[in-house]
Every structure is written in structure tokens, then in C-alpha cells.
Amino acid sequence: MRITIVAASIDNSGGFRVVSALGQRLLASGHDVRIVAPTKAQPGLRAKLRALRHRQTLRPRQQHSDHLGSLQDRTTVVPHRAPLVADDLPDADLIIATWWATMDWLQDLPATKGTPVHLVQDYETWGGPSHSVDHVMRMGGPKVAISTYLHKLLTDTFGQRDVLLLPNAVDHTLFHAEPRSKQKTLTMGFVYAPDPRKGTDLVLKALDRVRHTMPNIKVVAFGHHAPTKELPLPSWIDYTISPKQETLRAIYASCDVWLFGSRREGFGLPILEAMACRTPVIALNAGAAADLIDDGSGILLDNEDWTGMADAILRIGAMSEEEWRAYSDRAHHRAAEQNWDRVGSALEHWLVDVVARPRSR
């Protein structure tokens, strides 16, 4: 099959990691896969002035990704900003949108550009007016949901019937760790992000509460943003900006517990990446947390329950070596079930069926 994947940008985000992983599996199965994206808009005067006011370094927005792998030479960034138009895209059997706006771009394309498929990675109401996102979510045609939460949203709220539930996986060549013991100094980690959806403020509240009872803890974090004035990081947190993949693996593997505080999420790849590195996860119930954390592989809490997160940290801190090791082993076993080759194969078989259907337009 000839498959075009339409991306909003080429970057190091978790969403693009998923797009690239799926594309590489389809390519390895013998399909002609291409990724096309528009040129990313550069920071404007307002953003520059804001950065100057907060004494932040504002870097140009680059179009590159560490996740492209075998798709590096099959990726095109067109010389203009969004939206993409027919002339930007090769003829194909399938054209896969990876964000609500990219799905909107596909509606008036000629049939030669392929059958549109919507890869739904989140309910992206922060990316535009909610009525525009909802309109796209109600569009007919085949859709892929990466979590039970999104599958239920598509079927129950938006009345979709042609939806493949295809949970994300993890690259076990990148994220792995040898069996280990719980450390004498309880070490935990989290992802820093200034967006309120990501719940960094909730994690910081939980950690501050824990330190009153257990002052001798170690905390690490990573993210893609310098800490903001509105959401500063305490000096006792060891923070790494945009770590390389091997450094990222080492951060996960250095922890006794990983903290996932998102208020809203389509999936939450750090949960799976930490578990693959044998690190149990304490997660608020967002994205795929409920899908992944079961049978003692971690601790699942109600959404926004930061006090419960603090209590769960203390619970893990009080665990015996044997209890913690059981959590670690179960987390690793759960992550091992999520394999990109298996996920890619399931997607391939479903897409073959989509191409075989009569075109409705």
C-alpha cells in the first residue's frame, strides 16, 4: 500500500514518537510510507517580548525529530505553513491524519490522495475552538483510538462506529533496565510541563507534602521547557531539559517510583516508558493510566488527587524490598506486553481492510 502520514510538525513529542513508530512498522512490512508536514510557524514579537521579560532563551522552532529512524529520507517538510493542500501530497491508497486540524485539511482532497484515516491521539480542544474539534471528531470514516478513554469518547459521545482500539506500545530497545533493588534514598521522577493539563502543579504539591514526613528523598524530572515564573521548580529537583534517548532511559531507571499527574491526556507514554524500565508508577486517572496500571503494577488514583499521590509515595517508601520488587517486576511485565511490532501488525491488517472497502466519496 502507498501510505501518506500527515503530521502537524516534525518534533520530539510523544505524539510524533507514536506516529513514527507506526510508520516505521508499516514501512518494514513492505509498504510505501511517506510523512508530510507544513513549515512550523516561528515565534512572533509577542512571544519574543514574553521571553525577554521572563529572561528566557527563545530558540527557533526546528523541524527535526530523534524518532524518525528509517523514515528520515521519507519525510518532507513543505515550504509553507499549514494547511497542506493537494499539491503537497503524493498520490496514495491511504492518507492518515494525526491531529484534528490535519484531518480537517483532508476533507477536500481528490480521491487519488487516498482514503482518509484519523489517528486520534487526544481530544485536542486546546488546539482550536472546541466546536471545530468536535466537528472533526464527528466526521465519518475510519478512526484509530490509542486508549480506551478515546475509544469510548468517539463511540459514546461522537457516535462513531468504525473505530479501531490500538493502544500505544514502547520501544524495548530504548526503554529497558535490569532487575534492581529499592534504593535507600527513595528516588522519584516526573515530567515537567507548564501546560496545566499535564498536572505538574499537582505533582509538586504531592512532593512538597511528602517532604514534611520524609525529607530525605531524591527527585528528578525532565521536560522540553525551561521552568516558568508561573510554575518554578524547587532547587531540590534535578531537572534535565530535552534529554537524549539514552539519558531519558537512565532517568526512568534511576527511580523507585514514577509520578504521572496529568489532568487530561490521550495516552501518557511516560507511564509505559517508566514501567519498561522497571519503575512502578503512581498515576492520576487520565489517558491510558487505567488501561496500564492494574494487578499491582502501580497505584492508580482519582483525577487531581494530589493528596492521594503523596500518601501513595509514602506507602511505597515504607515498602519492604520484596514488596517493592514485586511492583517493579509486575510493571516490567505489563510494559513487555505492549510491543510495537504487534501493534504495527494489527494496524496493517486493519488498514488493508480499509483500502478494500468501496470509497464513499
- Give the fold, CATH level 3, of 187-336: Rossmann fold (3.40.50)
Could you tell me the three cell numbers for 224? 522540553
Q: What is the pLDDT of residue 295?
A: 73
Peptide bond into 83 cis (omega under 30): yes
Q: What is the pLDDT of residue 45?
A: 58
Q: What is the pLDDT of residue 58?
A: 47
User: pTM of the prediction?
Assistant: 0.91
Question: Using CA atoms, how far apart are residues 291 and 298, in angstroms rounded to an integer?
Answer: 12
Each residue's pLDDT tens digit, 297-328: 899 999 999 999 999 999 999 999 999 999 99
Judged by DSSP in three states, 257 sits in strand
Q: What is the pLDDT of residue 43?
A: 61
Q: What is the pLDDT of residue 221?
A: 98
Each residue's pLDDT tens digit, 138-158: 999 999 999 999 999 999 999
- Residue 260 and residue 239 in contact, taking contact as beta carbons nearer than 8 Å: no
- Residue 10 and residue 98 in contact, taking contact as beta carbons nearer than 8 Å: no
Question: Using CA atoms, how far apart are residues 249 and 277, in angstroms rounded to an integer?
Answer: 7
Question: Using CA atoms, how far apart are residues 288 and 204, in angstroms rounded to an integer?
Answer: 22
Question: Using CA atoms, how far apart are residues 66 and 253, in angstroms rounded to an integer?
Answer: 20
For the chain, the domains span 2-169+339-356, 187-336
Region for 192 from its dihedrals, namely left if φ exceeds 0, alpha if ψ lies in -120 to 50, beta otherwise: beta
- Long-range CB contacts for residues 228-233, cutoff 8 Å, separation at least 24: 228/54, 228/56, 228/194, 229/54, 230/194, 231/194, 231/200, 231/201, 231/204, 233/192, 233/204
Residues of the chain short of pLDDT 50, as ranges, are 58
- Same topology between domain 2-169+339-356 and domain 187-336: yes
Q: Which CATH architecture has domain 2-169+339-356?
A: 3-Layer(aba) Sandwich (3.40)
CA distance readout (Å), 97 to 7, 31, 54, 74, 348? 7, 17, 36, 17, 16
